[in-house]
Copies of this chain bind each other. A is one copy, B any other.
Amino acid sequence: MNQPPEQWIGQGVAEVDTPALVIDLDAMERNLQRMASYASQHRVRLRPHAKMHKCAELARRQMAAGAVGVCVQKTGEAEALAAAGVDDIYISNEVIAPHKLQRVAALARSLKSRGGRLAIAVDALAGVERLAQALGAAENMIDVFIELDVGHGRCGVHQVEDVLPIAQAIATHSSLRLAGLQAYHGGAQHLRSVHERRAALDQVLARVRQTRQLVTSVGLAVPLVTGAGSGTFALETSSGLFGELQAGSYLFLDADYARNEPDPDQPVFEHALFVKTQVMSVAPSHVVVDAGHKSHAIDSGLPGVLAKPLRAVACSDEHTTLKGIHTNAQLPALGETLWLIPGHCDPTVNLHDWMVGVRGGLDNGKVEEIFRVDARGRLD
């Protein structure tokens, strides 16, 4: 079953074996259009993060709706999507290993030769020097963004003044183009209240302004600031500082994002990714379904249950235990189909080789398409 189940195409959704990762295509397309319209109306570039879906076909549809390209997090993801036809890719992450930078260089040449473009992030002088060494003397082969730590406390240049030597080093290599700044605050996406997210973004914006001023003060250009996720992108957009949004989760809307207080300045997105599962065991106080955390990631909490008064109370490799939200709620029967809403879409998709696209709703719809997860497992 690691081969895509093409035989399900045209069948009713009831024929889909459990557990299976299912896309509600109608909901996904509404999400896709809402985000594309937002970017277009606000004259901001959209470069969705493809680490979320890892799927070349979905990347192509986002680009057909106006996205300038996609982000990825790993060289291997970039290679997998490029091999499947995506030609404008930004590795929004640092690469340090010299042999991996050889692969980055090869991909940059390949994409450029077909009219596309590769970009990458750096946060250290050593990263710039190793990248330049891998690329050799070729002209203008890759766009380079300097990543700032804007409050998340992970990668990125920590001290504003350390950006300058990095920017100057990039400028000395003809193979590299200083494309701008990478400023993504991952933690801010999941702060529950609009107020908290706004406060976190104030710090982001201050850091970006300060850095941009420093870099331009020595005569270097900062063509673009790129960043933002599905939790905060209206804040980055309204700042006027960010020219490009990297939001990715808007396409599927995971259970964790739905726990955020909605920002009235953002479009409303719908859940579009589900794990189809069935009740495999019934006890007086609970039921157990046949999908566990090998089928849906729980790093951002247990999954939701679609349209049922049930909540997940425990999750193991291949089981999720559900109880009624109210003590006297009727539990589902053995074999009954349930739909889980994954807590976090990105690592959930990475557990699957394919996603089943359903048209016409989850109750009575039909399987229209099987989507390959092209970059599944590409950690490299």
- Chain A positions within 8 Å of B, measured between CB atoms, are 1-2, 17-19, 51, 73-74, 76, 93-97, 99-100, 123-124, 126-127, 149, 153-156, 158, 186, 278-286, 288, 290-291, 293-295, 297-299, 314-319, 321, 334-335, 346-347, 350-353, 376-380
Contact = CB atoms under 8 A, between A and B. Distances in A.
Q: Give the oligomeric copy count.
A: 2
Contact of A154 (B74, B76, B156, B314): B314
A5 to B, nearest CB: 9
Nearest to A19: B379
A294 B335 contact: no
Interface of A is mostly: loop
Nearest to A54: B294
A34 to B, nearest CB: 24
Given A51-B318, A379-B291, A158 B347 contact: no
A290 B154 CA distance: 11
A334 B96 contact: yes
B350 A294 contact: yes
Nearest to A279: B96
Contacts of A97: 17-18, 278, 335
Given A17-B100, A126-B334, A281 B94 contact: yes
A121 B349 CA distance: 29
Contacts of A291: 379
Given A17-B100, A318-B51, A318-B73, A295 B379 contact: yes
A295 B155 CA distance: 18
Contact of A351 (B19, B280, B346, B350): B350
A124 B288 CA distance: 13
Given A96-B334, A299-B298, A350-B351, A282 B124 contact: yes
Contacts of A158: 283-284
Contact of A51 (B94, B95, B299, B317): B317
Contacts of A156: 281
Contacts of A280: 93-96, 155
B288 A73 contact: no
